[in-house]
Chain A
């Protein structure tokens, strides 16, 4: 099966990041339609009816998130979460680099729909090139009357601000993002209140992912019913899967939600010659492993949740038999140790402890008792931390011990990594 490109339909067009080319391929026509032919409520209803679910990882229905904004007359704010930091996920990066105007068009439509006069893009600090591209695109959009005062001659005005983060994974969590955007230390806030009632500077705020906001354009252009013709009933539409790992052609691939994993792997060129499939992390480093038993699993929110893992932001990392699970897991937990904000005890101390234990196990120093310790540590972190980071940090560790216990035992037996020894010879 080939790709189903909706968001990425024009991604390969030469110069699409510039306004004239984007306009030549239908760009901003949907914005004109939305602002001149539809009321804000119409746009919001279309998005609600489309069943679009947040593409940042949690999969919360976007239209419902918008509906939580209180009608109390306070100014509203739209924030685009472009702090894509999940290891294995690189779709927002791609959208920003190839289709910055699609993101802007989606943001303006969404801001119009929720009645926001101010919007912010919180961009991952490392995306310097993306920053420059977005800055240029915003200037073009301003110049052309798509941004700023009286957009397209209507009564609607939007002030959009681009902000670079400082390189903290936790700032992808929406309340930490808001604190960071306010110039504070980026750590998750207490909820409630939720951003819809008290977000940026205490104002009603919607935070949406880049891919989510981009998807608003085709939904408004073609309608909710059309959007629902793709994907599954509970996860409608298409999804950009970031395919990485041991594949012939890693990259971003857009498919309908619920496409079997095997088809995604095939689209990405399949495994490298002579290699056997070992495992997949289907939703970025925060997701638990799946083994070959699930090679045909439908890649949507509910099917993956039922299998004990998650779709997350759609970062699919495929591992073959050349990859040491212990080493790979240790690398992942090292990431989480480094990125833990340190606010709550189980996450701060637990990620450090787990990384210390896994580092030791990878070197072959340890015993089977350490595996029980590891599992118990994951049990003492999961569900006990302030935010979802803790659950994310333990998913891979816990599933690796449960699914690949033999690989750990082999490390003890050989007092080191067998695959490492094989490589070194």
Chain B
């Protein structure tokens, strides 16, 4: 350990600690602009200059490592003068348009000018004029005049994300941040740059000019969009959600958000929002009172019923939903409407923070950058800057993003490949990853049931530490599984339920925050199920295609409009609070479930019961799911969830492409870039071909866009002209 003195007070820190962190430990605040604790220091802004004995010049505290016996002064006259000097320089050309700046009121430049700056400027020259609303991408605008060239944004994109889309152009006082030649700032992590910007240079397009910091109320929340469960601060003005910010949780998100989480609140004000209970009368969905709608739903959900969905509901609602299932004799519930097998690790349940430590990582049919972006970002720091974990990616399709050894196999072969590798056979890197004594993290998408047992076995057979995380589930899939929303022994899963509904063998179907038309692996089966005689009740936030076919529609409050608890991929229960007024007559999901149960409950009661159940939960292989991925593999997405496309996220939606191996392209006589049809029975989907070595031959890989679940085992590629 190193002992040093800062402003006359002694502190003991690890060797290699930066002076600024040592001072922080003593509660001494050193002003900064360019320094960010998660990035390498650049010592560019010079705001953190401090005096250190035996060093001639003032030194940047952000880039100077401690030494034993070091004596640091942060309040000396020369330090004060340097701070005032740097601030005067930064403010000289700054437009000082604080009254119309989104950052005004929560701006480090304002705060530090107040705390450390001179009272008045001596600058009387004309200021430089640059672009004021320069679009960097679909979600972010740059005010080049306000920029102080701290390089936080450019460094974040290059160092943390590995996507150097932002660069500095020109030099000297003409230096500006801009998008690199021919690029756009459209990374799924781009939004973090807005929050890191220490001035009002980078602003959010949806939030621009919507409020001042003193107009808004900040509420703690949790992101519902994926199983990472990033912590959020949600700000609202007069009950309207205006903005989502990060709320750093070292164990979960390290202060980062993906753009789905940061900008994905447009569905709250979707024109397709369901604002009142609806009941089908004379063939038409019409507004009804809650009492009427609940009564109609209860009446309709009688006899042989199925309950689908729940992975997006709060833990409290899931708990009540499972009780609803238990109340009905013979009722079957399954949250896994999207074809997921499990949301819970079969064994060796991992933690997100394990991704910092792992020496080896398996991407087991998983695309973590897409499924769990912030967990992937954390892993990337390990691979690129940390201990340098080696990645082995295996499955029918290898996701891009990190350097990895690749093992391609056909859908359904994963268990065989993994079991063989456990016995020392197969691709060298995979065998090594399993055999190593070092820490192995497995990111599994949780789809293929056959892998469940192999993974349970693997964790027991390895001598080294194993951490398994399931990446493919919905935001609260873990909670749904813990609350027992899976088929019990002898019961069928989603596809059997849909099949029964289609065959008229089901009396009632309850879609709880789910749309099988969009989500089910077999969209055509879902369509048959919903157009049959079965009574359909839908509880959802927006008027999904399924909801429009329902007999009763119950409007749910969205995540930011209600209380609840989400359980993330590591089993961490995190509560969120309402921060916006619920739309119309919509109600918290757990209140709606209580209404269906005809019970009067309080949040505290339900939460206590649900948490107790979660604590007692022991993972077990979920019940059967007949569905198996075969000829068509669908790439998951977080960016096509709403009914109405969200304008700021449209650019993130999956492209309408089909990825195929070169051999497959030859078989179908199609070539890279060609416009073709994916045909299966009567379905024809127009797509563009991408030929890639990252897909196993014989497989068609489609993006998860509406309709892509309408092709299956019989899918083939047809050149458009030929089909005419």
Contact = CB atoms under 8 A, between A and B. Distances in A.
Contacts of A339: 171-172
A348 B149 contact: yes
Interface stretch (A54-62, A117-125, A250-258, A382-390): A382-390
A343 B126 CA distance: 22
B160 interface: no
A230 interface: no
B153 to A, nearest CB: 15
A345 to B, nearest CB: 5
A349 B47 CA distance: 13
Contacts of B49: 384
Contacts of A386: 43-44, 46
Nearest to A339: B172
B351 to A, nearest CB: 34
Interface string B661-692: 00000000000000000000000000000000
B123 A342 contact: no
A191 B269 CA distance: 52
Interface string B290-318: 00000000000000000000000000000
Interface string A50-84: 00000000000000000000000000000000000
B175 A342 contact: yes
B122 A373 contact: yes
Contacts of B46: 344-346, 384-386
Contacts of A341: 171-172
A380 B172 contact: no
B122 A383 contact: no
Interface string B164-203: 0001101111110000000000000000000000000000
Dominant secondary structure at the B interface: loop
A357 interface: yes
A383 to B, nearest CB: 4
Contacts of A342: 149, 168, 170-175
Nearest to A347: B172
B135 interface: no
B67 interface: no
A294 interface: no
B92 interface: yes
Contact of A353 (B58, B92, B175): B92
Contacts of A337: 172-173
A345 B172 contact: no
A352 B94 CA distance: 13
A386 B45 CA distance: 9
Give the one of A168, A339, A348, A373 with max B CB within 10 A: A348
Contacts of B85: 346, 379-380, 384
A225 interface: no
A357 B174 CA distance: 18
A345 B89 contact: yes
Contact of B172 (A348, A357, A384): A348
Given A380-B81, A386-B46, A351 B90 contact: no
A360 interface: yes
A344 B45 contact: yes
B86 interface: yes
A352 B93 contact: yes
B86 A346 contact: yes
Contacts of A346: 46, 85-86, 89
A344 B41 CA distance: 13
Interface in A297-353: 337-346, 348-353
Interface residues of A, number: 30
- A interface secondary structure, majority: helix
A356 interface: yes
B172 A356 contact: no
A393 to B, nearest CB: 11
A188 to B, nearest CB: 10
A372 to B, nearest CB: 10
Given A380-B82, A384-B58, A345 B44 contact: yes
A221 B187 CA distance: 60
Interface in B130-162: 148-149
B575 interface: no
Interface in A172-190: 185, 190
A352 B86 contact: no
Nearest to A359: B125
B63 interface: yes
Contacts of B170: 342
A185 B82 contact: no
B175 A345 contact: no
Nearest to B88: A380
B169 to A, nearest CB: 9
A101 to B, nearest CB: 35
B624 interface: no
Given A383-B58, A384-B58, A345 B148 contact: yes
A345 B90 contact: yes
A98 B566 CA distance: 76
A348 B171 CA distance: 9
B174 A345 contact: no
Contact of A348 (B43, B56, B57, B173): B173
A170 B47 CA distance: 22
A190 B43 contact: yes
Nearest to B82: A384
Given A342-B168, A342-B172, A350 B63 contact: no
B176 to A, nearest CB: 9
Interface in A152-169: 168
Nearest to B63: A190
B42 interface: yes
Contacts of A340: 171-173
A348 B86 contact: no
Contacts of A353: 89, 92, 123, 125
A383 B57 contact: yes
A337 B172 CA distance: 7
B139 to A, nearest CB: 26
A188 B1 CA distance: 31
A158 B41 CA distance: 36
Contacts of B90: 345, 349
A353 B125 CA distance: 8
Contact of A345 (B41, B63, B81, B149): B149
A343 B173 contact: no
Contacts of A344: 43-46
Contacts of A383: 56-58
Nearest to B40: A190
B92 A349 contact: yes
A343 B154 CA distance: 13
A120 B49 CA distance: 36
Contact of A350 (B42, B89, B171): B89
Contacts of A356: 125-126
B120 to A, nearest CB: 13
Nearest to A353: B92
B149 A190 contact: no
B81 to A, nearest CB: 7
Nearest to B91: A349
Contacts of B148: 345
A279 B173 CA distance: 30
**Max chain B C-beta neighbours (<10 A), residue from A343, A346, A350, A357:** A343
Contact of A384 (B41, B86, B92, B126): B86
Given A384-B58, A384-B85, A338 B43 contact: no
A190 B43 CA distance: 8
Contacts of A385: 46
Contact of B173 (A170, A349, A379, A380): A349
Closest 4 A/B residue pairs (Cβ)? A380-B85, A342-B175, A349-B89, A352-B173
Given A338-B172, A340-B173, 9 more contacts: A170-B171, A185-B167, A345-B44, A345-B86, A348-B173, A352-B172, A356-B125, A384-B49, A384-B85
20 contacts: A340-B172, A342-B171, A342-B172, A342-B175, A343-B42, A344-B45, A345-B45, A345-B86, A349-B173, A350-B89, A352-B92, A352-B172, A353-B89, A353-B92, A353-B123, A360-B125, A379-B85, A380-B86, A383-B56, A383-B58
